[in-house]
Structure 1
Amino acid sequence: MSNNVDMSPDEFRKHGYELIDWIADYFENIEEYPVLAKINPGDIKAKLPKSPPSKNESMEDIFNDIDKIIMPGMTHWNHPKFMAYFNSTASGPGVLAELLSAAFNINGMVWKSSPASTELEEVMMNWLRQMIGLPENFWGIIYDG
Protein backbone atom coordinates (compact mmCIF):
# COMPACT_ATOMS: atom_id res chain seq x y z
CA MET A 1 0.00 0.00 0.00
CA SER A 2 1.38 3.40 -0.95
CA ASN A 3 1.40 6.53 1.16
CA ASN A 4 -0.33 8.45 -1.64
CA VAL A 5 -3.60 9.80 -0.25
CA ASP A 6 -5.28 9.98 -3.66
CA MET A 7 -6.17 7.13 -6.00
CA SER A 8 -5.84 6.44 -9.70
CA PRO A 9 -8.83 6.96 -11.99
CA ASP A 10 -9.21 3.17 -12.28
CA GLU A 11 -9.22 2.75 -8.49
CA PHE A 12 -11.70 5.62 -8.20
CA ARG A 13 -14.03 3.91 -10.69
CA LYS A 14 -13.76 0.55 -8.94
CA HIS A 15 -14.38 1.89 -5.44
CA GLY A 16 -16.95 4.41 -6.66
CA TYR A 17 -19.03 1.60 -8.16
CA GLU A 18 -18.63 -0.37 -4.93
CA LEU A 19 -19.82 2.61 -2.89
CA ILE A 20 -22.80 3.29 -5.16
CA ASP A 21 -23.76 -0.40 -4.87
CA TRP A 22 -23.42 -0.17 -1.07
CA ILE A 23 -25.64 2.94 -0.97
CA ALA A 24 -28.25 1.34 -3.26
CA ASP A 25 -28.32 -1.73 -0.99
CA TYR A 26 -28.64 0.56 2.04
CA PHE A 27 -31.62 2.38 0.50
CA GLU A 28 -33.20 -0.92 -0.54
CA ASN A 29 -32.80 -2.52 2.90
CA ILE A 30 -33.07 0.47 5.23
CA GLU A 31 -36.08 -1.02 7.03
CA GLU A 32 -33.81 -3.80 8.35
CA TYR A 33 -31.88 -1.28 10.48
CA PRO A 34 -33.11 0.07 13.80
CA VAL A 35 -34.26 3.66 13.47
CA LEU A 36 -32.05 4.78 16.37
CA ALA A 37 -28.55 3.67 17.21
CA LYS A 38 -28.43 1.03 19.93
CA ILE A 39 -25.08 2.02 21.40
CA ASN A 40 -23.79 3.98 24.37
CA PRO A 41 -21.67 7.13 24.39
CA GLY A 42 -18.06 6.23 23.68
CA ASP A 43 -18.80 2.92 21.92
CA ILE A 44 -17.66 4.21 18.52
CA LYS A 45 -14.54 5.90 19.91
CA ALA A 46 -13.57 2.68 21.70
CA LYS A 47 -13.50 0.85 18.36
CA LEU A 48 -11.36 3.43 16.56
CA PRO A 49 -7.56 3.57 16.71
CA LYS A 50 -6.11 5.98 19.27
CA SER A 51 -3.57 7.29 16.73
CA PRO A 52 -3.88 8.11 13.04
CA PRO A 53 -2.88 5.33 10.65
CA SER A 54 0.72 5.38 9.49
CA LYS A 55 -0.29 4.27 5.98
CA ASN A 56 -3.40 4.12 3.84
CA GLU A 57 -6.12 1.67 4.79
CA SER A 58 -7.50 -0.52 2.03
CA MET A 59 -10.96 0.35 0.76
CA GLU A 60 -12.06 -3.14 1.78
CA ASP A 61 -11.05 -2.35 5.37
CA ILE A 62 -12.79 1.03 5.19
CA PHE A 63 -16.04 -0.57 3.96
CA ASN A 64 -15.77 -3.15 6.75
CA ASP A 65 -15.30 -0.36 9.30
CA ILE A 66 -18.39 1.40 7.95
CA ASP A 67 -20.44 -1.77 8.41
CA LYS A 68 -19.04 -2.83 11.78
CA ILE A 69 -18.20 0.47 13.51
CA ILE A 70 -20.11 3.32 11.89
CA MET A 71 -23.48 1.74 10.99
CA PRO A 72 -24.30 0.62 14.55
CA GLY A 73 -23.97 4.27 15.60
CA MET A 74 -26.20 5.72 12.91
CA THR A 75 -29.64 7.23 13.33
CA HIS A 76 -31.29 6.38 10.02
CA TRP A 77 -33.05 9.57 8.97
CA ASN A 78 -34.26 7.91 5.76
CA HIS A 79 -35.93 5.08 7.66
CA PRO A 80 -39.70 5.08 7.06
CA LYS A 81 -40.27 5.02 10.84
CA PHE A 82 -38.04 8.04 11.56
CA MET A 83 -40.39 10.81 12.65
CA ALA A 84 -38.18 13.13 14.71
CA TYR A 85 -36.97 16.63 13.93
CA PHE A 86 -37.56 17.25 10.25
CA ASN A 87 -37.42 14.30 7.93
CA SER A 88 -35.08 15.47 5.20
CA THR A 89 -34.95 12.26 3.24
CA ALA A 90 -32.12 11.79 0.83
CA SER A 91 -33.10 10.63 -2.61
CA GLY A 92 -31.01 8.75 -5.13
CA PRO A 93 -30.82 11.83 -7.39
CA GLY A 94 -29.87 13.97 -4.39
CA VAL A 95 -27.03 11.63 -3.41
CA LEU A 96 -25.74 11.60 -6.99
CA ALA A 97 -25.96 15.41 -7.14
CA GLU A 98 -23.91 15.63 -3.92
CA LEU A 99 -21.32 13.31 -5.48
CA LEU A 100 -21.06 15.54 -8.54
CA SER A 101 -20.87 18.66 -6.40
CA ALA A 102 -18.07 17.12 -4.32
CA ALA A 103 -16.17 16.19 -7.50
CA PHE A 104 -16.31 19.78 -8.76
CA ASN A 105 -15.07 21.01 -5.36
CA ILE A 106 -16.49 24.47 -5.96
CA ASN A 107 -17.21 27.29 -3.61
CA GLY A 108 -20.26 28.99 -5.05
CA MET A 109 -20.15 31.98 -2.71
CA VAL A 110 -20.28 34.60 -5.48
CA TRP A 111 -20.79 34.58 -9.24
CA LYS A 112 -17.06 34.96 -10.05
CA SER A 113 -16.08 31.89 -8.00
CA SER A 114 -18.60 29.71 -9.85
CA PRO A 115 -20.87 31.26 -12.48
CA ALA A 116 -22.59 27.93 -13.24
CA SER A 117 -23.37 27.27 -9.58
CA THR A 118 -24.65 30.78 -8.95
CA GLU A 119 -26.91 30.93 -11.99
CA LEU A 120 -28.23 27.39 -11.51
CA GLU A 121 -29.09 28.23 -7.89
CA GLU A 122 -30.93 31.39 -8.96
CA VAL A 123 -32.99 29.50 -11.55
CA MET A 124 -33.78 26.62 -9.21
CA MET A 125 -34.82 28.99 -6.40
CA ASN A 126 -37.15 30.69 -8.88
CA TRP A 127 -38.59 27.26 -9.77
CA LEU A 128 -39.11 26.52 -6.07
CA ARG A 129 -40.89 29.87 -5.68
CA GLN A 130 -43.19 28.95 -8.58
CA MET A 131 -43.81 25.41 -7.30
CA ILE A 132 -45.00 26.62 -3.89
CA GLY A 133 -47.10 29.42 -5.37
CA LEU A 134 -45.23 32.48 -4.15
CA PRO A 135 -45.58 35.78 -6.05
CA GLU A 136 -42.96 36.88 -8.60
CA ASN A 137 -41.65 39.63 -6.34
CA PHE A 138 -40.79 37.06 -3.66
CA TRP A 139 -37.10 36.27 -3.87
CA GLY A 140 -34.12 35.79 -1.64
CA ILE A 141 -30.88 34.02 -1.00
CA ILE A 142 -30.38 30.85 1.00
CA TYR A 143 -27.36 31.06 3.24
CA ASP A 144 -25.91 27.72 4.20
CA GLY A 145 -23.04 27.64 6.67
Structure 2
Amino acid sequence: MCGAGADGLDARISAAVCTRCANQPIVLADGGVVQERPRLASLSAFQRDILWVLNHHGGLKGLAIKSKLQEYYDEDVNHGQLYPNLDQLVEGGYVEKGERDKRTNEYRITADGKQALSRRRTWTEAAEVTDA
Protein backbone atom coordinates (compact mmCIF):
# COMPACT_ATOMS: atom_id res chain seq x y z
CA MET A 1 0.00 0.00 0.00
CA CYS A 2 1.06 3.61 -0.45
CA GLY A 3 1.70 4.49 3.20
CA ALA A 4 -0.98 7.22 3.41
CA GLY A 5 -3.17 7.33 6.47
CA ALA A 6 -5.89 4.70 6.50
CA ASP A 7 -9.36 6.14 6.01
CA GLY A 8 -11.22 2.97 5.03
CA LEU A 9 -11.25 -0.82 5.13
CA ASP A 10 -10.49 -3.13 2.25
CA ALA A 11 -12.65 -6.20 2.90
CA ARG A 12 -10.77 -8.18 0.25
CA ILE A 13 -7.76 -8.40 2.55
CA SER A 14 -9.32 -7.29 5.89
CA ALA A 15 -6.96 -4.37 6.25
CA ALA A 16 -7.24 -0.66 6.89
CA VAL A 17 -6.18 1.28 3.78
CA CYS A 18 -6.50 4.70 2.24
CA THR A 19 -9.35 5.25 -0.22
CA ARG A 20 -7.00 5.35 -3.22
CA CYS A 21 -5.40 2.00 -2.36
CA ALA A 22 -8.80 0.39 -1.64
CA ASN A 23 -9.65 0.82 -5.32
CA GLN A 24 -6.43 -0.70 -6.69
CA PRO A 25 -5.91 -4.37 -7.62
CA ILE A 26 -3.99 -6.34 -5.01
CA VAL A 27 -1.05 -8.56 -6.01
CA LEU A 28 -0.83 -11.56 -3.70
CA ALA A 29 2.40 -13.23 -2.57
CA ASP A 30 1.72 -16.20 -4.86
CA GLY A 31 1.46 -13.85 -7.85
CA GLY A 32 -2.34 -13.95 -8.03
CA VAL A 33 -4.26 -10.71 -8.39
CA VAL A 34 -7.44 -9.66 -6.60
CA GLN A 35 -9.13 -7.22 -8.96
CA GLU A 36 -10.77 -4.07 -7.75
CA ARG A 37 -14.30 -4.48 -6.52
CA PRO A 38 -17.16 -3.42 -8.77
CA ARG A 39 -17.96 0.21 -8.26
CA LEU A 40 -21.18 0.99 -6.44
CA ALA A 41 -22.56 2.55 -9.62
CA SER A 42 -22.09 -0.73 -11.49
CA LEU A 43 -24.29 -2.75 -9.11
CA SER A 44 -27.64 -3.61 -10.66
CA ALA A 45 -30.95 -2.99 -8.90
CA PHE A 46 -31.24 -6.78 -8.51
CA GLN A 47 -27.84 -6.90 -6.79
CA ARG A 48 -28.84 -4.05 -4.47
CA ASP A 49 -32.02 -5.98 -3.63
CA ILE A 50 -29.91 -9.02 -2.73
CA LEU A 51 -27.83 -6.80 -0.43
CA TRP A 52 -31.01 -5.42 1.14
CA VAL A 53 -32.34 -8.95 1.80
CA LEU A 54 -29.07 -10.01 3.45
CA ASN A 55 -28.85 -6.80 5.47
CA HIS A 56 -32.37 -7.25 6.86
CA HIS A 57 -32.50 -11.03 7.29
CA GLY A 58 -28.91 -11.96 8.16
CA GLY A 59 -27.07 -14.96 6.75
CA LEU A 60 -29.23 -16.95 4.36
CA LYS A 61 -28.86 -19.87 2.00
CA GLY A 62 -29.41 -19.14 -1.69
CA LEU A 63 -32.92 -20.61 -1.78
CA ALA A 64 -34.00 -18.38 1.14
CA ILE A 65 -32.65 -15.30 -0.68
CA LYS A 66 -34.54 -16.43 -3.78
CA SER A 67 -37.74 -16.81 -1.74
CA LYS A 68 -37.43 -13.32 -0.21
CA LEU A 69 -36.85 -11.77 -3.63
CA GLN A 70 -39.82 -13.63 -5.10
CA GLU A 71 -42.03 -12.31 -2.28
CA TYR A 72 -40.90 -8.76 -3.06
CA TYR A 73 -41.11 -9.02 -6.87
CA ASP A 74 -44.26 -11.17 -6.82
CA GLU A 75 -42.76 -13.25 -9.62
CA ASP A 76 -40.32 -16.12 -10.03
CA VAL A 77 -36.59 -15.56 -9.69
CA ASN A 78 -34.62 -18.27 -11.45
CA HIS A 79 -31.32 -19.83 -10.39
CA GLY A 80 -29.65 -18.52 -13.55
CA GLN A 81 -30.34 -14.97 -12.40
CA LEU A 82 -29.67 -15.35 -8.68
CA TYR A 83 -26.42 -17.29 -8.43
CA PRO A 84 -24.33 -15.38 -11.00
CA ASN A 85 -25.33 -12.16 -9.23
CA LEU A 86 -24.44 -13.63 -5.83
CA ASP A 87 -21.07 -14.71 -7.25
CA GLN A 88 -20.40 -11.18 -8.54
CA LEU A 89 -21.27 -9.73 -5.13
CA VAL A 90 -18.94 -12.23 -3.45
CA GLU A 91 -16.11 -11.43 -5.89
CA GLY A 92 -16.68 -7.72 -5.29
CA GLY A 93 -16.42 -8.06 -1.52
CA TYR A 94 -20.04 -7.05 -0.86
CA VAL A 95 -21.15 -10.55 0.22
CA GLU A 96 -19.34 -13.34 2.03
CA LYS A 97 -20.00 -16.96 1.05
CA GLY A 98 -19.55 -19.69 3.63
CA GLU A 99 -20.67 -23.25 4.22
CA ARG A 100 -23.80 -23.81 6.28
CA ASP A 101 -23.29 -27.56 5.98
CA LYS A 102 -21.61 -29.89 3.48
CA ARG A 103 -24.27 -29.25 0.81
CA THR A 104 -25.48 -25.72 1.53
CA ASN A 105 -23.78 -22.36 1.20
CA GLU A 106 -24.68 -19.40 3.37
CA TYR A 107 -24.39 -15.80 2.23
CA ARG A 108 -23.80 -12.80 4.53
CA ILE A 109 -23.48 -9.12 3.75
CA THR A 110 -20.03 -7.66 4.46
CA ALA A 111 -19.12 -4.26 5.88
CA ASP A 112 -18.56 -3.07 2.29
CA GLY A 113 -22.04 -4.31 1.35
CA LYS A 114 -23.58 -2.43 4.28
CA GLN A 115 -21.64 0.69 3.32
CA ALA A 116 -22.90 0.41 -0.28
CA LEU A 117 -26.50 0.25 0.95
CA SER A 118 -25.92 3.14 3.33
CA ARG A 119 -24.41 5.31 0.60
CA ARG A 120 -27.31 4.50 -1.72
CA ARG A 121 -29.87 5.32 1.00
CA THR A 122 -28.14 8.61 1.80
CA TRP A 123 -28.11 9.57 -1.87
CA THR A 124 -31.76 8.68 -2.51
CA GLU A 125 -32.93 10.41 0.69
CA ALA A 126 -31.01 13.57 -0.23
CA ALA A 127 -32.59 13.54 -3.69
CA GLU A 128 -36.08 13.24 -2.17
CA VAL A 129 -35.47 16.28 0.01
CA THR A 130 -34.05 18.49 -2.75
CA ASP A 131 -36.72 17.47 -5.29
CA ALA A 132 -39.64 18.23 -2.98
Fold match by TM threshold 0.5: no
TM-score, normalised with respect to structure 1? 0.26
TM-score, normalised with respect to structure 2? 0.27
Q: Rg bigger for which structure?
A: 1
Higher strand fraction: Structure 1 or Structure 2? 2
